[in-house]
Structure 1
Amino acid sequence: MKVKIWAVRAAAMLLAAAAGATAAGASADAAVPDRFGFALWSGGVVSQAVPAGTSVTPGVPGRWTVKFPGQGIVGGVVHVTAVHDALTSPNGRFCQAESWGPDTSLPPNEIVRVACYRTTGVLDPAPGFSVQFARSSGGIGGGLYGYMHNNAGCGIIDNYTTLGFGTTCAHVGVGQYSIAFTGLGTPGPQDGGIQVTAVNPGAAARCKVASMQSSANGQFFRILCFNHLGALADNAFTSTYQYKRSLYGPAFPPNRFGYIWNVPGAGPATTNYNSVAGGNGLGAGPPVWTIKYYSLAASLPGNSQATAYGTSSSFCGLHRPWSAAGTDILVTVNCFDNAGNPINSGFFSSYSSQA
């Protein structure tokens, strides 16, 4: 059995930075986000949901419709992560967004369609995923945040950054994309965190992060997308970058959020952030990694997402639903090869509370 070692990295430095972000951003966060919602769908039950009344309705086995009441708006981005204990019920599975947008209700609801697949490319009806929707507008100070929704050819469908700068996307090969959040400058060489989700209404697909580079000019990433066979394939995707802000945009409040990059092994201290404790703990895998988001359990509900990192066709998800352990939040992540077998892999993990 592996011995799990917990560490908080650069806590004092990051706590000081968090205090600074609080002062800079506390008065201006009303516009970020304009609308948002998140939910956990596990065992046929909706939990950890915002806003109240969020529902998940099964459709064709392997497809679900999520309704976020009163949050309907054009644009924004969706992130979806499978929740699946593949040690108990092999093999691994992955989930993706199919579409999202407002319905015709007054006020409109946000309708998000989610699909989950086995590695064979067959829809999987097991009820386990975490989903988040967010849409923002207007500039804001204190931390950095941005998102993109790109089509398969790298055309930008929607984008946003807290500083009002543009984003770029270059299609550099089949299933290969270079994206940039220009103007969101940090010291580098890697700072913050990112989440990526495949968007495809007709076929199994998954996307991941292959490289990350931070500089004073912005944040730069290489994104790879694959079909269920593990071959590179052009595909639409969403991406969200966060630096001392929650994954859905605001900061202080919410006062409890964090992110971490597993390379494997914890990445630079500037990619391991906790708004309360400074840094987070990473328990060594494989087959299951456990992230301790220290002191973030006081304002449930919350939401967690995970995205694989690396250049292979491997993918990652949540092993089980996140849970509170005293004052901490425990998030478990597992990663798989193209056949769904547990493997060692890098990943990005993020957790955000509602307040």
Structure 2
Amino acid sequence: MPMHAGTAVPPVRPVPADRAFRAVRALLLVLAVLAALVGVSLPAAGPAHAAVPDRWGFAYLDNPNPPPGYVPDTTRQWGSWPSPAANPVRVDKVGTGSYVVHFPLIAGPGGIAHVTAVARTGSWCQVRGWGTAGTGQDVAVSCYRPGGAPEDNRFTVLYTTSSGVPTPAVGGYGYVYAAPTASIVTQYNSTGATNAVGYGGTGTWKVWLPGLGQASPAGNIEVTAVNPSAGARCKVADWVPSASGQTVIVNCYNAGNVLFDTRWTLSYSEKRAVHGPAFPPNSYGYLWFNGGLPPATNFNSSGAVNTLAGSVPYTVNLPGIAVPSDTAQVTAFGPGPDYCGLATPWNRSAGTVNLFPICFNASGSPIASRFFTAYSSAV
């Protein structure tokens, strides 16, 4: 199957289907007995009440110039395939600032991907596309320096796909992968409703997520540009919550900071981890800084209160949930071409995780700005 919105990439080595099937069945039996101890979710047997998510994986590329088949930071990668510790994520560099992330044993259609650059220099990363490669799922990522030239860079990357209506229904989760024309390539809503996207002019879209969220701001939003050839950045320009659903305005810009039509992904989660599940994981959190910290957008699964300090970069402190393997994403909020990422990888100390979001103006200079950030462990 070709990658979404991208070119073909080298496949991962295939694994015989019968062997993979037996491995999955064996793991499902273990999960039935040890569900409380397991930190991954596997595809459910039928689509009517499938798990949320069905398949997922995340990783942090800690080496911007990796050798072929590189295994990135093992404390910041995991996924829903059997034995992730023995079947690691691998990354191939295929050009300057251009990478393919190989998630093993989660082949299948649909889903979304997010990526966040990890740099202090104003660099950003986007998704080129994703798709099945042998028995795995490949996500292609491109990174750029201010001005739009390709640049080798560190980044976090996440792939996830969901179906069905979860039982019990805890919080809410939904996503959209949209084309520039506002047609939806793939979408999911944990209420069973259908999301919608409207085109608002060059580089602007209105997303409607029915049945999710609250009448006042609650939850977390992440957005990522998807373009196979041109540099692009996307963000949340505005968010209008209501009791019947969430309206989100997405703006995308090209490397010249001009509103730009491109593909993009958006995910919304309330009392759910950034990749979709409610539990496990038991260790996740998110925070929205819009000049203040609206209470229902500042969530910590341990019951602790997250805090924010500094500005360039910020320090987001999430007590009680620092459990490797783990991941984080950041998305800018507000009008204009400002954008955000992570200044450095997150750190962990005595159960607390610290994230370091950093934002930039159109020229790539660090600034104080507004953002969403989300953290999740695998367990």
CA deviation profile, 1:211-243 (whole Å, cap 9, x unmatched): 112111101111100001111011110000000
Count, aligned residues: 317
Residue type matched to 2:209 in 1? F
Q: Which amino acid aligns with 1:134?
A: T
Give me the whole-angstrom Cα distance separating, in 1, the residues matched to 2:327 and 2:108: 21
> Counterpart in 2 of 1:284?
310
Q: How far apart in 1 are the matches of 2:316 and 2:129?
A: 30
Higher strand share: 1
> Partners of 1:277 and 1:110 in 2: how far apart?
34
Q: Structure 2 unaligned runs (5+)?
A: 1-35
Instruction: Say whether the 8 Å CA contact 2:50–2:164 is kept in structure 1.
Output: no
Q: Per-residue CA shift, 1:102-143, capped at 9, x if unaligned?
A: 11x2xx2000000001121110013x0000000000101111
Q: Who is 2:229 aligned against?
A: 202
Q: Is the 8 A contact 1:264 1:344 kept in 2?
A: no
| 2-structure distance, mates of 1:130, 1:185 | 26
Equivalent position to 1:242, from 269, 290, 302: 269
Secondary structure of 1:270 counterpart: helix
Match of residue 327 from structure 1: 351
Other-structure match for 2:179: 151
Partner of 1:273: 299
Q: What fraction of aligned residue pairs are identical, expressed as a percent?
A: 38
Cα offset, 1:284, TM superposition: 2.7
Q: Is the 8 A contact 2:286 2:373 kept in 1?
A: yes
Tell me which residue corresponds to 1:163.
191
Cα-to-partner distance string for 1:164-208 (whole Å, 9 max, x where unaligned): 10101011111011001112142x221111000000010100000
Structure 1 counterpart of 2:114: 79
Matched residue of 2:344: which SS? Answer: strand
Amino acid paired to 1:37: G
SS at match of 1:59: strand
1:102 aligns with 2:127: no
Post-superposition CA distance 1:137-166 (Å, at most 9, x none): 010111100000001111100000111101
Find the residue that maps to 1:321 and give its secondary structure: coil
Q: Could you tell me which residue of structure 1 aligns to residue 151 of structure 2?
A: 124
Q: Which residue of structure 1 aligns with residue 365 of structure 2?
A: 341
AA of the residue aligned to 1:321: P
Q: CA RMSD in A?
A: 1.6
**Superposition pairs of residues 1-355 of structure 1, within 5 angstroms:** 31-43=51-63, 44=66, 46-47=72-73, 48-51=76-79, 52=84, 53-84=88-119, 86=120, 91-103=121-133, 105=134, 108-126=135-153, 128-140=154-166, 141-186=169-214, 188-266=215-293, 268-285=294-311, 287-297=312-322, 299-355=323-379
1:185–1:306 Cα change, 3 Å: closer
CA contact (8 A) 2:213 2:270 kept: no
More RCO (CA 8 Å, sep 6+) = 1
Q: Deviations over 1:291-338 (max 9, x none)?
A: 1111111x3111100000010101000000111021101100110011
Question: Which secondary structure state, in structure 1, belongs to the residue aligned with residue 193 of structure 2?
Answer: coil
Q: CA deviation at 1:30?
A: 6.2
Q: 1:278 to 1:180 in 2, by over 3 A?
A: farther
> Which contiguous aligned blocks of 4+ residues in structure 1 show a shift greater than 4 angstroms?
27-30
Preserved contact between residue 264 and residue 347 of structure 1 (Cα < 8 Å): no
Q: How much has 1:249 moved relative to structure 2?
A: 0.8
After TM superposition, the score normalised by the length of structure 2 is 0.81
